[in-house]
């Protein structure tokens, strides 16, 4: 039944090319107006917010002195916090040099717990950042290092240090699985990444409550709360402006679509009257009018989205994500259908005999 209604609506649209093309152009223009104005603003918003996220707005860094008593057991307690996206702990830094270069440049070696190196590292192995390899005089991530305490370790790989851990550079990392530790190990630096910048303030309070330290005075916490607040403000302001202007554009388009649909219904009064006289229900007439509006609006929305994407790309302007384009198309169809409800009811409730007398 639904398929037949759509086919009939498509056939009716073809039978009235002028009105159909006008409806398609109006809906396409509505989509273009939204995407070229607010779509570009949304693209800019996504770029700005993404830049602020990249700047580390979701990161909390906890530094602990030896007297504080912070250990790896904190990682287990943080696993139950829903707003934590990732948590990595590092032991105290120990100076290390290239074993084959006595008196060479010292680089900090840290034991890490929960740090994803992206590769399998055997116990006792060490991975190094590119900056650390350069300072050690190693052209390739292969060799041996010796700490000032006499501990030796093999360099077995290189790592790309994430932006939130950039403050550790240059760094050598000896990764360990906290789940395999026989007893908790001392932690000097804890890096926690929140799932969202908006959770920074509340997450900081949670972290303080689960640290389990002996001396709270030995703890310092660094957050990007100001950047997170700026991100929230920017996101909220741009979103509010976008919603207001988009609503105004769609409201104007709804009025125009309603007017065109009314004209379409007036032009097909005899056809609807004949259908009603032959036994068509009011529900069928209603469905035909709404389906025709949906088909035309869908075509117009797709054409408008394609045209806007090509134009924004050619202008090197910020382009919103695919979800925004899809939302605009769906919203344009929805607005067009809702705007056609009153004319559709009017067509469905007309008396067949009276409509057949229309010249």
Over the chain (359 residues), the average pLDDT of each successive run of 10 is 64 71 82 77 61 62 89 88 87 90 88 83 86 89 86 88 83 85 88 78 83 86 60 52 68 78 69 62 76 85 90 82 84 84 74 51
Reduced to 3 states (helix: H, G, I; strand: E, B; else coil), residue 38 is helix
Q: What is the Cα–Cα distance from 185 to 182, expressed in whole angstroms?
A: 9
Query: End-to-end alpha-carbon separation of the chain, Å?
Result: 31
Answer for the pair 337, 290: CB distance below 8 angstroms, yes or no.
yes
Q: Quote the tokens at residue 56.
A: 């580390």
Reduced to 3 states (helix: H, G, I; strand: E, B; else coil), residue 346 is helix
Q: What is the Cα–Cα distance from 187 to 283, expressed in whole angstroms?
A: 71
What are the start-end ranges of the H helices in 17-136?
17-34, 40-54, 73-78, 130-136
Q: Is the pTM of this model over 0.75?
A: no
The predicted structure's pLDDT at residue 48: 57
**b/e string for 158-190 if b means 16 or more Cβ within 10 A?**
bbebbebbeebebbbbbbbebeeeeebbebbbb
Q: Quote the tokens at residue 60.
A: 């909390």
The predicted structure's pLDDT at residue 356: 47
Q: What is the Cα–Cα distance from 114 to 87, expressed in whole angstroms?
A: 7
Answer for the pair 275, 289: CB distance below 8 angstroms, yes or no.
no
The predicted structure's pLDDT at residue 243: 64
């Amino acid at each position: 039944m639904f398929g037949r209604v759509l086919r009939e609506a498509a056939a009716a649209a073809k039978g009235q090319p002028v009105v159909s093309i006008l409806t398609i152009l109006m809906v396409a223009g509505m989509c273009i107006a939204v995407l070229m104005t607010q779509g570009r603003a949304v693209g800019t918003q996504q770029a700005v917010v993404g830049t602020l996220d990249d700047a580390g707005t979701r990161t909390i860094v906890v530094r602990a002195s030896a007297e504080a008593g912070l250990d790896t057991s904190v990682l287990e307690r943080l696993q139950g916090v829903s707003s934590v996206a990732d948590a990595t702990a590092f032991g105290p830094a120990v100076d290390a040099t290239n074993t084959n270069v006595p008196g060479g440049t010292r680089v900090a070696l840290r034991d890490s717990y929960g740090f994803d190196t992206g590769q399998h590292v055997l116990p006792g192995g060490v991975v190094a950042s590119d900056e650390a390899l350069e300072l050690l005089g190693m052209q390739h991530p292969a060799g041996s290092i010796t700490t000032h305490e006499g501990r030796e370790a093999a360099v077995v790989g290189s790592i790309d240090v994430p932006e939130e851990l950039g403050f550790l550079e240059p760094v050598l990392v000896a990764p360990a699985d906290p789940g395999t530790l026989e007893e908790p190990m001392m932690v000097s630096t804890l890096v926690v990444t929140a799932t969202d910048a908006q959770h920074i303030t509340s997450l900081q309070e949670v972290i303080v409550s689960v640290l389990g330290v002996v001396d709270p005075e030995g703890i310092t916490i660094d957050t990007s709360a100001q950047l997170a607040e700026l991100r929230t403000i920017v996101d909220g302001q741009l979103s509010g402006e976008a919603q207001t202007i988009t609503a105004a554009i769609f409201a104007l388009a709804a009025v125009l679509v309603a007017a065109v649909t009314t004209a379409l219904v007036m032009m097909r009064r005899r056809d609807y009257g004949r259908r009603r006289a032959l036994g068509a229900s009011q529900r069928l007439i209603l469905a035909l009018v709404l389906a025709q509006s949906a088909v035309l609006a869908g075509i117009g929305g797709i054409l408008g989205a394609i045209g806007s994407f090509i134009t924004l790309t050619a202008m090197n302007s910020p382009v919103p994500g695919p979800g925004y384009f899809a939302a605009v198309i769906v919203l344009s169809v929805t607005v067009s259908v809702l705007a056609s409800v009153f004319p559709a009811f009017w067509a469905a409730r007309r008396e067949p005999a009276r409509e057949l007398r229309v010249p």
